[in-house]
Amino acid sequence: MYKRLLNRLLISHRNYSYSRSIIDIIKTGQIGETISVQGWIKSLRKQKEVTFIDINDGSTPTNLQIVLTQKSDSKISVGSSISTSGVLKQSPKGQNEVSAENMVLIGECDLAKGYPFAPRKQYEPEYIREHLHFRPRTRKFASLLRLRHAANISIHNYLDEKGYFNIHTPIMTSNDCEGAGEIFKVLPDNEKLLKSMAKENQASELVYFDTKAYLTVSGQLHLEAAAQALNKVYCFGPTFRAENSKSRFHLSEFYMLELEQAFLSNLDDLLIIVEDLIKSVTSNLLQKYSDDIGMCTQNKVSHKWIDKPFIKISYKEALNILSNKLNKTVKGDIVKEHELALTEYFDQVPVFVINWPKNQKPFYMKEIDNENVAAFDLLAPQIGEIAGGSLREDNYDKLKSRLANNNSQLDWYLDLRRFGCVPTGGFGLGFERFLQFVLGIDTVRDSIPFPRWPHNCKL
Amino acid sequence: MYKRLLNRLLISHRNYSYSRSIIDIIKTGQIGETISVQGWIKSLRKQKEVTFIDINDGSTPTNLQIVLTQKSDSKISVGSSISTSGVLKQSPKGQNEVSAENMVLIGECDLAKGYPFAPRKQYEPEYIREHLHFRPRTRKFASLLRLRHAANISIHNYLDEKGYFNIHTPIMTSNDCEGAGEIFKVLPDNEKLLKSMAKENQASELVYFDTKAYLTVSGQLHLEAAAQALNKVYCFGPTFRAENSKSRFHLSEFYMLELEQAFLSNLDDLLIIVEDLIKSVTSNLLQKYSDDIGMCTQNKVSHKWIDKPFIKISYKEALNILSNKLNKTVKGDIVKEHELALTEYFDQVPVFVINWPKNQKPFYMKEIDNENVAAFDLLAPQIGEIAGGSLREDNYDKLKSRLANNNSQLDWYLDLRRFGCVPTGGFGLGFERFLQFVLGIDTVRDSIPFPRWPHNCKL
């Protein structure tokens, strides 16, 4: 009885006849075979006898031309979704096309009802960004999304092959890290819940966790705890800044790759990892996603830097070069203008600036001498800083003395230096800025699907 | 001049002599060769002439035995980090070991100074969890971290190969989704900033974004916007619930894989995707990470279900089975006890329960008839629900009528049905519960590096 019931209930894994994806048709389609395909109409030209319809299904930037020999549904328009089948042929221009006798309309797309993108029109990124939920339907941004996916998985696979383990460092943390004040706090949006959980006279922001909770500004400190056991670790996730910045390089929510490696005591070793990672991931994109790269960059972005060694200069050398180049004494902060001047000076090759003054960097960076720390910034042409890192201070007393106000929240971090400590080093790479650099994206808001910045948290 | 400067500044990519990782020594080490290795001491036995030291470097659960023929540093103890080199030999038991003449202590680990883990002692998970920053140093949890990494990257690669694109859906959102009240709100922790940005009489929680902002409870709605252009998409990131639940299955911050596919109009097609994904990822772990699986599960977890088709029953059939099995009429909610009873009934094979009453499911699920929606829950043995999904309501009028209070926040979501809409379906898989299921982890708090639950937000 039981067996029979079981058999009856088993899912029948029938061969469900899926339509083919356009990328699959392009790669493996045989001239003469009958295929089914679905997608959204990208352009439409009606002639007396036939209608030429370009469709796209999101699998590739390349459209597939459908040549429809019957009268087409009058409701079919650019933006509407359709299903069709026909014989795969070669067009006079040598490209694949489908000769179809009919076409089924799945979803209309009526411009008159408020669809924001008209056929054959070019729109500015600002306008497209106003319609975030439709933005993936624009050709260039669809390519950006595929490339963002490809870069993401390429980074994971690169690090996996090198023996790094992905650690999910926390998004909500009780540690305000560097206390820079550019931090979001988090609490339940539920008065009833808070009331039911509150201890006497407890401030509402303390109730849920018994401590204030913030959104992470960096996974580094947590990553170090993992590196002191697993050796080679990274995190790659969302990071937050509550700044009032509307620059083309800042978001309130962005992605950062952070890597930490144990038994590492030489800054150069860290630079080699950063340079190889950036070059490998970029090469992979250029090789495997050339169509999307072409669409996204409009072939206007140079990647010549990929074959050249990155430049390495000290902070002091950087100031000297800048003073000479700009004909004025540059000291103190290296600002965005300086960053761009340096990469320009070095012929659009990325530049590592190393050995920074201690007072310009966070407390955890390892001292070289009384004045300087073993840190780097990596400056990319046209973009400026895309990564930064350092060796970490592994001397318990030095670290403790640099921790402001004897912050007891970070006792656990000091602990890492007290028990079986090994030297570590690591860096953070801004993922959106990396994409801006490789894909020539003017504003960071166009490098992420759902950008958040002051006064903007759409959807 | 410029060229010379350039050459001088180039990073010299010298062959830096890294120590070998233990996994590399195990896999490729040649008996007789001299190797350098670094790690943390896991056990130590001093004899008259020699000291036997097991070290681990995080690359694998397997320790490497060092046979030290010189007198060892008296400060060397379990937990301390060391560096050594010597000749690779085969032990009498046939395992690799290193015959070393000396050993350099890198970092002490003095139990007397407060290190919480004494040698040769077993600790309960609750105790280990009290020391989150040292937890990765415990053998079983180190295996969990490597397996979590492996499962994570395996999911990404599985989906990439099948043509899905990873979309980073937003963490901060102005959309409170189902309005279930179990949501965190977010605002800058900076009175000065808020004051400088505030419009007249604006509530502080509205100031930064001009709208209230929440932490995401699901990326599904945003994913649907991408699916209506890219077709096959997923997100895999942190998700949040402000519940006051301390159950062994709930966290305030957890990871969820969510997938959405366009041109999908049959629930069975979705079930096939879920089942194949779960089986493929699990197979991959069992094959490639058998050592870590053994360490983590203590070989007490059965994976026989992997060779069996998952069960599929309707919600109504589930109630009948439960009523018979439990000798009482079961109606309404299927609670945890019922979920476990169902998988027990089906001999510890995962069970899809499909076709749910409309009033038990969210507004966006597609109606089969007036009473039911095309939805599923996937129940795993010992764990209960690990995934859930549905076809999505693609009829604009039906969807609008089910949206409570004409929530204008979701006008954009309704828009997706108005312009070029195609049927879609998707699901969410709880990553920690999946790990609990595959690795036999009793509480979800031991499946994530930095668990957050009510009154607990350590580090």
- A431-447 residues labelled b (16+ CB within 10 A) or e (exposed): bbbbbbbbbbbebbbbb
Residues 183-242 of A with CB under 8 A from B: 183-190, 192-193, 196-197, 208-215, 221-222, 225-226, 228-232, 237-238, 240, 242
For residue A21, the chain B residues in CB contact (below 8 A) are 163, 231
Residues B78 and B175 in one domain: no
Q: Is B44 on the interface with A (CB under 8 A)?
A: no
State the nearest Cα–Cα gap between B297 and chain A, in angstroms: 19
Name the DSSP class of A252. S
Q: Do B142 and A21 touch (CB under 8 A)?
A: no
Contact in structure between A423 and A263 (CB atoms under 8 Å): yes
The Cα-based distances of A302 to A294, A306, B318 in angstroms read: 11, 9, 60
The percentage of chain A sitting over the pLDDT mark of 70, rounded to a whole number, equals 94
Q: Is residue A205 part of a domain?
A: no
Contact in structure between B251 and B451 (CB atoms under 8 Å): yes
| Three-state SS letters, A155-207 | HHHHHHHCCCEECCCCCEECCCCCCCCCCEEEEECCHHHHHHHCCCCCCHHHH
Residues 147-176 of B with CB under 8 A from A: 148-149, 152-153, 156-157, 160, 163, 165-176
Residues A161 and A80 in one domain: no
CA dist A434 and A256 (Å) reads: 10
Mean pLDDT calculated for residue range A344-351 = 97
Residues A353 and A230 in one domain: yes
Contact in structure between A196 and B244 (CB atoms under 8 Å): yes
Residues A167 and A43 in one domain: no
Task: For chain A, give the mean pLDDT.
Answer: 93
Mean pLDDT calculated for residue range A130-148 = 98
Q: Is A119 on the interface with B (CB under 8 A)?
A: no
pLDDT of residue A6: 45
Q: Do A242 and B9 touch (CB under 8 A)?
A: no
Placement of tokens 């073993």 in the chain: A374
Residues B49 and B171 in one domain: no
pLDDT of residue B180: 64
For residue A36, the chain B residues in CB contact (below 8 A) are none
CA dist B129 and B311 (Å) reads: 36
Placement of tokens 């990871």 in the chain: B255
pLDDT of residue B176: 75
CATH code, domain carrying A93: 2.40.50.140
User: What is this model's ipTM?
Assistant: 0.95
Q: Would you call A416 helix, strand, or coil by DSSP?
A: coil
Res A432 pLDDT > 90: yes
Res A133 pLDDT > 80: yes
- pLDDT band, residue A11 (cuts 50/70/90): very low
Res B125 pLDDT > 90: yes
Name the DSSP class of A21. P
Q: Do B215 and A186 touch (CB under 8 A)?
A: yes
Residues A227 and A371 in one domain: yes
CA dist B387 and B380 (Å) reads: 9
pLDDT of residue A19: 85
Q: Phi and psi of B286, rounded to 5°?
A: -65, -35
* Residue-wise pLDDT tens digits, B197-252: 999 999 999 999 999 999 999 999 999 999 999 999 999 999 999 999 989 999 99
Give Cβ neighbours of residue A20 (< 8 Å, ≥ 6 apart): A29, A35, A36, A37
Q: Which amino acid is at B118?
A: A
Name the DSSP class of A208. T
* Residue-wise pLDDT tens digits, A298-345: 999 999 999 999 999 999 999 999 999 999 999 888 999 999 999 999
Residues A91 and A142 in one domain: no
Give Cβ neighbours of residue A193 (< 8 Å, ≥ 6 apart): A208, B181, B242, B244
- The range of the structural domain enclosing residue A152 comes to 135-182+217-446
Return the closest-CA partner of residue B387 out of B164, B218, B221, B262: B218
Q: Do B312 and A11 touch (CB under 8 A)?
A: yes
* Residue-wise pLDDT tens digits, B399-443: 999 986 666 789 999 999 999 999 999 999 999 999 999 999 999
* C-beta neighbour count of B370 within 10 angstroms: 6
CATH code, domain carrying A259: 3.30.930.10
CA dist A31 and A3 (Å) reads: 48
Residues B52 and B165 in one domain: no
CA dist B130 and B352 (Å) reads: 37
Contact in structure between B369 and B332 (CB atoms under 8 Å): no
State the nearest Cα–Cα gap between B95 and chain A, in angstroms: 22
Contact in structure between A52 and A42 (CB atoms under 8 Å): no
The Cα-based distances of A16 to B266, B267, B273 in angstroms read: 10, 12, 12
Write out the two tokens for A420: 């079986």
CA dist A76 and B422 (Å) reads: 14
Helix (H) / strand (E) containing A337: helix A336-345
The burial of A7, by beta-carbon neighbours within 10 Å (0-12 exposed, 13-18 middle, 19 or more buried), is given as exposed
| Three-state SS letters, chain B | CHHHHHHHHECCCCCCCCCCCHHHHHHHCCCCCEEEEEEEEEEEEECCCCEEEEEECCCCCCCEEEEECCCCCCCCCCCCEEEEEEEEEECCCCCEEEEEEEEEEEECECHHHCCCCCCCCCCCHHHHHCCCCCHHHCHHHHHHHHHHHHHHHHHHHHHHHCCCEECCCCCEECCCCCCCCCCEEEEECCHHHHHHHCCCCCCHHHHCCCCCEEECCCCHHHHHHHHHHHCEEEEEEEEECCCCCCCCCCCCEEEEEEEEEECCCCHHHHHHHHHHHHHHHHHHHHHHCHHHHHHHHCCCCCCHHHHCCCEEEEHHHHHHHHHHHHCCCCCCCCCHHHHHHHHHHCCCCCEEEEEEEHHHCCCCECECCCCEEEEEEEEECCCEEEEEEEEECCCHHHHHHHCHHHCHHHHHHHHHHHECCCCEEEEEEEHHHHHHHHHCCCCHHHCCCCCCECCECCC
* Residue-wise pLDDT tens digits, B56-108: 999 999 999 999 998 777 889 999 999 999 999 998 888 899 999 889 999 99
pLDDT of residue B70: 83
List the single best residue of B189, B218, B308 to mutate versus A (max A Cβ within 10 A): B189
Tell me how far the alpha carbon of residue A285 is from its chain's centroid. Answer: 13
pLDDT of residue B143: 98
Q: Is residue A452 part of a domain?
A: no
Q: Is residue B127 part of a domain?
A: no
Q: Is residue A128 part of a domain?
A: no
* Residue-wise pLDDT tens digits, B7-54: 444 433 333 346 899 999 999 999 999 999 999 999 999 988 899 999
For residue B214, the chain A residues in CB contact (below 8 A) are 189
Q: Phi and psi of A352, rounded to 5°?
A: -85, 125
Mean pLDDT calculated for residue range A101-125 = 94
Q: Is residue B125 part of a domain?
A: no
The residue with greater pLDDT, A333 or B368, is B368
CA dist A382 and A340 (Å) reads: 6
Residues B86 and B235 in one domain: no
Q: Is A420 on the interface with B (CB under 8 A)?
A: yes
Dihedral sign computed on CA atoms, order B439, B440, B442, B443: positive
Res B3 pLDDT > 60: no
List the single best residue of B208, B212, B233, B236 to mutate versus A (max A Cβ within 10 A): B208
Task: For chain B, give the mean pLDDT.
Answer: 93
Residues B74 and B178 in one domain: no
Q: Would you call A220 helix, strand, or coil by DSSP?
A: helix
Write out the two tokens for A1: 């009885």
The Cα-based distances of B50 to A434, B44, B71, B76, B99 in angstroms read: 52, 11, 7, 14, 10
CB pairs under 8 A between A and B: 397
The percentage of chain A sitting over the pLDDT mark of 90, rounded to a whole number, equals 87
Contact in structure between B219 and B235 (CB atoms under 8 Å): yes
CA dist B168 and B223 (Å) reads: 9
Residues B111 and B143 in one domain: no
- B27-58 residues labelled b (16+ CB within 10 A) or e (exposed): eebeeeeebebbbbbbebeeeeebbebbbbbb
Q: Is residue B1 part of a domain?
A: no
- pLDDT band, residue A180 (cuts 50/70/90): low
Strands A172-173 and B311-314 come out as unpaired
- B178-206 residues labelled b (16+ CB within 10 A) or e (exposed): eeeebbbbbbbbbeebbeebeeeeeeebe
CA dist B241 and A160 (Å) reads: 30
pLDDT of residue B16: 34
Q: Is residue B316 part of a domain?
A: yes
CA dist B89 and B100 (Å) reads: 10
Residues B279 and B408 in one domain: yes
Residue ending a domain, choose from B71, B93, B120: B120
Helix, strand and coil in chain A, % to nearest 5: 35, 25, 40
Count of structural domains within chain B: 2
Bridge partners for B389 per DSSP: B376, B427
Q: Do B160 and A153 touch (CB under 8 A)?
A: yes
Q: Is residue B144 part of a domain?
A: yes
